[in-house]
């Protein structure tokens, strides 16, 4: 943390933002969905939408990444109250880690019980193909090895305990539901289950780094998600993670392949419709009355 930099938002700031959002809409969502790179169209499927630009929301950070609109959309999806983030916040934009996770605690204060996180990722597992959807079973928060964790600093007990358990970060029942929905949609051939690894970015991984990550057990790699999930679990939200494999990482020094963000956006566009369908059907069959843990 830089000298003089704040250690985070106060509870009162989170509450002020939550109260402001509730004053702008009659929707009372129990599900929040974070739309990753190129996946923001999911928010456009909400019924009776109320759209709020990040720049108009008190205390909200703004996003500067192509493929991230920068808007909150409230509405209903298959009769369930939802709020979608069209664009998230990343460390590589220059945000402090506690800023990247600001919306999660706000969501908890407005009544959200379940968080669905989606992202675009590079496939490390040799069996993965571009267009596959990985059901996140667990994650490796590599920046956390250097102390980059959204819970660093004074703990706010009104959100959660000082040392939250992360061995159940991704809800087992929700993962089972996602697999069941995928079978019913005849898309189980592209649904994988694996481990997501987050790096800081914005540069893509070197070949040596990719080989190391694979040796550590990671199946896909990206530049987001883990900090949001850590914060969500601190708040006792249930979490479902879905990662769209938009490119295969380069593991061979003789390869002429090069990772680039435009490729990620194009691949997301081609496969986003299936991911949207999957999420829509998962939400329809989700039990929102279940207690959080």
Catalytic residues: 37, 68, 90, 92-93, 120, 223-224, 247, 261
254 φ/ψ angles, rounded to the nearest 5 degrees: -90, -5
Q: How far is the C-alpha of 118 from the C-alpha of 281, rounded, in Å?
A: 15
């Amino acid at each position: 943390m830089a000298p003089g930099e704040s250690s985070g938002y106060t509870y009162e700031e989170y509450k002020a933002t939550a109260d402001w959002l509730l004053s702008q809409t009659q929707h009372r969502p129990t599900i929040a969905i974070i739309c990753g790179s190129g996946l923001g169209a999911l928010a456009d499927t909400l019924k009776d939408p109320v759209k709020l630009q990040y720049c108009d929301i008190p205390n909200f950070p703004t996003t500067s990444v192509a493929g991230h609109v920068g808007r909150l959309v409230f509405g209903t999806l298959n009769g369930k109250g939802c709020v979608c983030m069209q664009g998230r916040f990343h460390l590589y934009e220059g945000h402090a880690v506690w800023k990247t996770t600001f919306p999660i605690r706000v969501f908890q204060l407005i009544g959200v019980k379940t968080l669905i996180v989606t992202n675009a990722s590079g496939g490390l597992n040799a069996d993965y193909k571009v267009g596959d959807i990985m059901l996140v079973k667990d994650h490796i928060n590599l920046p956390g090895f250097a102390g980059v964790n959204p819970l660093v600093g004074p703990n706010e007990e009104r959100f959660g305990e000082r040392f939250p358990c992360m061995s159940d970060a991704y809800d087992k029942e929700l993962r089972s539901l996602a697999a069941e929905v995928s079978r019913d949609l005849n898309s189980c051939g592209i649904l994988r289950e694996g481990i997501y690894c987050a790096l800081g970015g914005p540069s893509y991984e070197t070949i040596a780094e990719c080989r190391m990550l694979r040796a550590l057990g990671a199946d896909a790699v990206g530049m987001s998600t883990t900090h949001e999930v850590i914060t969500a679990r601190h708040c006792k939200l249930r979490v479902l993670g879905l990662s769209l494999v938009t490119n295969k990482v380069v593991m061979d020094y003789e390869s002429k392949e090069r990772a680039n963000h435009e490729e990620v956006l194009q691949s997301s566009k081609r496969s986003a419709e299936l991911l949207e369908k999957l999420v829509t059907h998962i939400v329809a069959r989700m039990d929102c009355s279940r207690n959080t843990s």
